[in-house]
């Protein structure tokens, strides 16, 4: 989840960067920035900061195993495997 950043980064030296994005992504960036009352640049900065240094595993790990069956033997208990895999 993205949270609001200051509208500007005062005291930070910045340079202009250009990227190519499709119209759908461009529109989504504009919508998200408007919803959060931040500039498009601030939205992109925050997204990069949230992803910086994270592996794919680190990004999805919090989502894995949150809705478990409560049973720790689903992959090894033959009674629970009945009807799967022939």
Q: What does the pLDDT read at residue 3?
A: 46
Task: Report, in this order, helix, strand and coil percent for the chain, each rounded to 5.
Answer: 45, 0, 55
Helix ranges (DSSP H) in 19-85: 23-36, 40-51, 56-60, 78-81
Question: Per the domain annotation, does 72 fall within a domain?
Answer: no
The string of pLDDT tens digits covering residues 39-77 is 999 999 888 888 887 787 887 888 876 666 667 777 778
Q: How big is the chain, counted in residues?
A: 86
Q: What does the pLDDT read at residue 28?
A: 96
The string of pLDDT tens digits covering residues 16-31 is 888 899 999 999 999 9
Question: Per the domain annotation, does 34 fall within a domain?
Answer: yes
Question: Per the domain annotation, does 48 fall within a domain?
Answer: yes
Domain that holds residue 32: 1-5+18-53
Question: Per the domain annotation, does 80 fall within a domain?
Answer: no
Question: Per the domain annotation, does 39 fall within a domain?
Answer: yes
Question: Per the domain annotation, does 30 fall within a domain?
Answer: yes
Give the total number of structural domains in the chain.
Answer: 1
| Closest CA relative to residue 29, chosen from 40, 21, 18, 19 | 40
Q: What does the pLDDT read at residue 68?
A: 63
């Amino acid at each position: 989840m993205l949270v609001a950043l200051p509208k500007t980064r005062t005291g930070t030296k910045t340079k202009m960067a250009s990227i190519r994005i499709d119209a759908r992504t461009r529109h989504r960036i504009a919508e998200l920035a408007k919803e959060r009352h931040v500039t498009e640049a601030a939205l992109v900065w925050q997204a990069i900061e949230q992803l910086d240094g994270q592996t794919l595993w680190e990004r999805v790990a919090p989502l894995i195993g949150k809705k478990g069956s409560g049973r720790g033997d689903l992959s090894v208990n033959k009674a629970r495997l009945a009807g799967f895999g022939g």
